[in-house]
Each structure stands twice: as structure tokens, then as C-alpha cells.
């Protein structure tokens, strides 16, 4: 039965399918991505592409993405939407497909037949159990780029494959937690779900690289994104430091391990500022600003001098100098000497800051669930182009685009669409 389904889908003539996101603009206009993961890492990778102009069809499971039902909510007029959903599903299309039903599998494979990229983040083996293997997908669409995202990857030691994973699991396994926090405290859990966002950036860049390859070679590829590896990939020289120097990094709080100052300091008025001074030129300007002799203290700028008693004394002098002044006084003085420094902002500070406003980082759009305007984060990076990216609509209601996808993209007759809806193969309207 399933073999017949595959044969039926793959034998249909391939033709240029019309775009549904006709109002989308940006450098990825014309690219079509099918996204079928939940929560953060994989959907965020697809969401970025949607912001930049790609048409992204987000396939939700029956009942919808977990994000839809998790707090916190914006509630207006008896309607409510999760704040993260409202922010991170904009410009995306939604359809619900029951992949446990053969007709649902057929609809899904039809979508993949028209896609350039498929991204998913299920437990390894999930799609194989459904019969939707990479080989099957390639029979339907030989040029498609397939991106699998999981905590531990789809190949490797059998003891790890398929282990349940979250952002924090990958952060723990990668070693990231072990080097974040203060020596006297437990390791820190990154927030807000930084490992998920690092994974999303890796996944999208790899997907676009795969897309370029597929257009050159005329064949698709599969990309295996393991979340722990994406986190470990941003450790810089720490891996060689550990492997070659046998110097295993440990938790040191906010201090840098190689030079000082590069730290957070409390001011007289109870605020916090960050001060960094890398290189002797900058360190000298800092010494001049706080009126200490550079020649006397220059040997404590780098490790190992910074970790000696004298190095700790310099840290104490700087902390005392900052503690005796308000944040405004500290920033004004250090900036007069061109020393990098800044107040530690709250998110409210950022919302009210003129530079954020000048760069249009906070914008308004109509949320599809609420039917009203909400205010949130805009589009980054800034593409300085004629048809620059824009928010052409808010995050979709559950299955909002089902009928449009089935009729306009897959060209199913109205009677068959009604049958799929009545049988709960797809949802909604």
C-alpha cells in the first residue's frame, strides 16, 4: 500500500508550483521550505528563512505545536497567544497533517515534492517508522535538501542515539555548562535557550549551503545537525587548550581567563557596567582613566599575571574606583579615554533606547490569533536592498493555511479537500 503511495506521488509530473507567500520579500524570495519540528531549534531556523523572504510551510502535528499551549500568554478579548509563538512564527504558513494516516503521508510527500528544503527535529527513527525515509523522500524529490536536527545526531554510538534531549541537555553534554558560572556555585544553565538558537543558526547556514550544492550538482543532500556539536563548535581555542595543553577550562564567573579587565562591575548607584580592555594600548588608556601607573600594572593585564596576588589587587583597585561612582560617571569617564564600557541593560532599557529605535528593532504587526497589533522584535540582520525583508503577516493560527496549501499548491479538488478535512487527515481552515 505504502509503495503504491510513493509510486503515485513520485510519478506525478514535476512543474513549477505557485508561491503562496506572495507578499514575502527579501534575499530568499522564491525558496520553499517545509518545516516539521516543534519548539525552538528547527522552527527558528525556518523562521529566520521566512523573515528573509522564503516561503515556509510549518507542518504541525494534530493538536498543534507545543509552543502554542505554553505560557506566558497575551490575552485579549477571550483569545490568547503564547508570546514566543507570536514572535517566532511570523511569515510562516501552517497546516496540520496526521502522518499516521496514509492520506496524511501522501499530502506530506506531495509537499516535499514541491520543496527545496525539508527541516525536521523529531527523535531519530521517527520518520523511518512512518515509512518516510530519506530514500523515499528522494524518490519523490531527488534535489531536496534534508536537514535532520536532534540532540545527539542520527549516527554515532548507539548508547546516545535517540536519547531525549533539550537545549540544556546539549549544553550539559557539550561541556558548556561546566565553564559557565562562578567557582563557588553550580554550573549555569544558559538562558534564553541559547543552545537552541546556536543550533538554529548552524542548521540554516548548512541548509542554504546544501541548497547551493543541490542547484550546482542537480542532486540533494542530507544534513545531520547534532545540537551538542553546534554548541561545542563555538568554543574557539578551548578544545586545543584542553587536548594539547591539558589545561581544562573551569568556571570563573564573569572574569575572562586570559586578560583583565573583561568583567562586570557594580557602581555607586547599584547598577552594573561591563568594562573590557584587551591589549596594552587599551589597558594603558584604562590606567590613565582611573589614574594608576600603567608601567607599574602592565604585568597583570594578561595571564598568568592577572591571577597572581598583584593581579587580584589591580582588580580590587578598579572595582573600588567604579564602586565610588555612579554608572553615568563611570561611562562618561571611560568613554573619554576610549575604553570599551557599557551599562548592563534590562530588556526595558533596550525598548526605550534611541539606537534600537533608529534601527527599527522594535516593530508592530497584527497577530493572526489575536487579530490585533502586538509589539516585538523586528528583523535582523538589516538587508539594505530594494525589496528588503518585511513582516507580511503575524504568526499563523492552527492550520490556518491548510485549504490554500491543498488547493493552490497541491491542486487538490475541493471535494477531496473537504474529505481530508472531515477525516481529520489535515486541519484546519
d(CA 65, CA 28): 25
Strand partners, 225: 149
Residue environment code for 397-421, b if the CB has 16+ CB neighbours within 10 A, otherwise e = bbbbbbbebbeebbebeeeebeebb
d(CA 176, CA 144): 34
Judge contact between 261 and 334, C-beta under 8 A.
no
* Catalytic residue flag (residue 196): yes
Residue 6 banded pLDDT, cuts 50, 70, 90: confident
Distance of CA 289 to the CA centre of its chain: 39
* Mean pLDDT across 183-193: 91
> pTM for the whole thing?
0.94
d(CA 381, CA 395): 20
Query: pLDDT tens digit string along 295-329?
Result: 999 999 999 999 999 999 999 999 999 999 999 99
User: Is residue 224 reached through a cis peptide bond, with omega within 30 degrees of 0 on the bond before it?
Assistant: no
Distance of CA 330 to the CA centre of its chain: 34
* Mean pLDDT across 324-345: 98
Per CATH, the number for 2-234+360-427 is 3.40.50.10540
Does the pLDDT value for residue 15 go beyond 70? no
**Quick one: pLDDT at residue 162?**
85
**Quick one: pLDDT at residue 3?**
79
d(CA 26, CA 422): 37
Does the pLDDT value for residue 1 go beyond 70? no
Cβ neighbours, 10 Å, residue 336:
11
Q: Where are the alpha helices (DSSP H) in 246-308?
A: 280-290, 294-297
- Total number of residues shown for the chain: 429
* Mean pLDDT across 134-149: 97
Which residues does 150 contact at the CB level (< 8 Å), separation at least 6?
121, 122, 123, 124, 165, 225, 226, 227
Judge contact between 263 and 256, C-beta under 8 A.
yes
Strand partners, 34: 57, 118
Under DSSP, the state recorded for 68 is: G
Cβ neighbours, 10 Å, residue 21:
21
Specify the fold of 262-266+272-343. Answer: formyl-coa transferase, domain 3 (3.30.1540)
Judge contact between 265 and 273, C-beta under 8 A.
yes
Joined together, the cell numbers standing for residue 370 give: 489575536
**Quick one: pLDDT at residue 17?**
79
**Quick one: pLDDT at residue 12?**
75
Q: Phi-psi category of 188—alpha, beta or left, where left has phi over 0 and alpha has psi -120 to 50?
A: beta
Judge contact between 361 and 377, C-beta under 8 A.
yes
**Quick one: pLDDT at residue 10?**
77
* Mean pLDDT across 188-211: 96
Share of the chain above pLDDT 70, in %: 99
Share of the chain above pLDDT 90, in %: 92
Residue boundaries of the structural domains of the chain: 2-234+360-427, 262-266+272-343
Judge contact between 233 and 71, C-beta under 8 A.
no
* Mean pLDDT across 370-390: 96
Query: pLDDT tens digit string along 257-298?
Result: 899 999 999 999 999 999 999 999 999 999 999 999 999 999
Q: Among candidates 74, 112, 351, which has minimal Cα distance to 220?
A: 112
Which of these is catalytic: 116, 196, 367, 401? Answer: 196
Mean pLDDT of the chain: 95
Query: pLDDT tens digit string along 399-424?
Result: 999 999 999 999 999 999 999 999 99
d(CA 130, CA 259): 54
Amino acid at each position: 500500500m505504502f509503495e503504491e503511495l510513493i509510486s503515485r506521488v513520485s510519478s506525478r509530473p514535476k512543474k513549477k508550483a505557485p508561491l503562496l507567500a506572495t507578499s514575502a520579500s527579501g534575499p530568499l524570495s522564491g525558496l520553499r521550505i517545509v518545516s516539521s519540528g516543534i519548539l525552538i531549534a528547527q522552527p527558528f531556523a525556518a523562521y529566520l528563512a521566512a523573515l528573509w523572504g522564503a516561503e515556509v510551510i510549518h507542518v504541525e502535528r494534530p493538536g498543534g505545536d507545543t509552543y502554542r499551549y505554553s505560557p506566558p500568554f497575551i490575552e485579549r478579548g477571550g483569545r490568547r497567544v503564547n508570546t514566543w509563538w507570536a514572535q517566532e512564527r511570523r511569515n510562516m504558513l501552517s497546516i496540520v497533517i496526521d502522518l499516521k494516516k496514509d492520506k496524511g503521508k501522501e499530502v506530506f510527500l506531495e509537499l516535499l515534492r514541491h520543496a527545496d528544503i525539508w527541516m525536521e527535529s523529531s527523535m531519530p527513527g521517527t520518520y523511518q517508522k512512518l515509512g518516510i525515509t530519506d530514500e523515499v523522500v528522494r524518490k519523490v524529490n531527488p534535489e531536496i535538501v534534508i536537514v535532520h536536527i536532534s540532540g545527539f545526531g542520527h549516527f554515532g554510538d548507539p548508547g546516545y542515539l535517540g536519547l531525549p534531549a533539550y537545549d540544556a541537555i546539549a549544553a550539559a553534554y557539550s561541556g558548556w555548562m561546566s565553564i559557565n558560572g562562578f567557582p563557588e556555585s553550580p554550573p549555569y544553565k544558559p538562558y534564553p535557550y541559547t543552545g537552541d538558537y546556536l543550533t538554529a543558526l548552524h542548521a540554516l547556514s548548512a541548509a542554504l549551503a546544501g541548497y547551493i550544492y543541490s542547484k550546482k550538482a542537480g542532486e540533494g543532500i542530507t544534513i545531520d545537525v547534532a545540537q551538542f556539536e553546534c554548541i561545542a563548535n563555538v568554543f574557539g581555542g578551548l578544545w586545543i587548550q584542553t587536548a594539547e595543553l591539558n589545561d581544562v577550562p573551569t568556571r570563573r564567573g564573569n572574569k575572562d581567563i586570559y586578560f583583565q579587565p573583561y568583567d562586570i562591575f557594580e557602581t555607586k548607584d547599584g547598577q552594573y557596567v561591563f568594562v573590557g580592555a584587551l591589549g596594552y594600548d587599551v589597558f594603558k588608556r584604562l590606567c590613565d582613566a582611573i589614574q594608576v601607573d600603567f608601567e607599574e600594572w602592565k604585568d597583570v593585564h594578561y595571564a598568568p599575571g592577572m591571577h597572581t596576588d598583584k593581579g587580584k589587587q589591580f582588580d580590587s583597585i578598579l572595582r573600588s574606583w567604579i564602586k565610588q561612582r555612579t554608572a553615568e560617571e563611570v561611562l562618561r569617564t571611560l568613554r573619554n579615554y576610549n575604553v570599551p564600557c557599557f551599562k548592563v541593560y534590562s530588556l526595558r532599557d533596550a525598548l526605550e533606547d534611541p539606537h534600537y529605535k533608529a534601527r527599527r528593532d522594535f516593530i508592530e504587526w497584527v497577530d493572526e490569533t489575536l487579530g490585533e497589533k502586538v509589539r516585538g522584535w523586528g528583523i535582523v540582520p538589516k538587508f539594505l536592498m530594494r525589496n528588503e525583508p518585511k513582516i507580511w503577516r503575524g504568526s499563523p493560527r492552527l492550520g490556518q493555511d491548510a485549504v490554500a496549501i491543498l488547493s493552490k499548491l497541491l491542486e487538490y479538488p475541493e471535494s477531496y479537500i473537504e474529505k481530508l478535512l472531515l477525516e481529520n487527515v489535515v486541519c484546519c481552515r
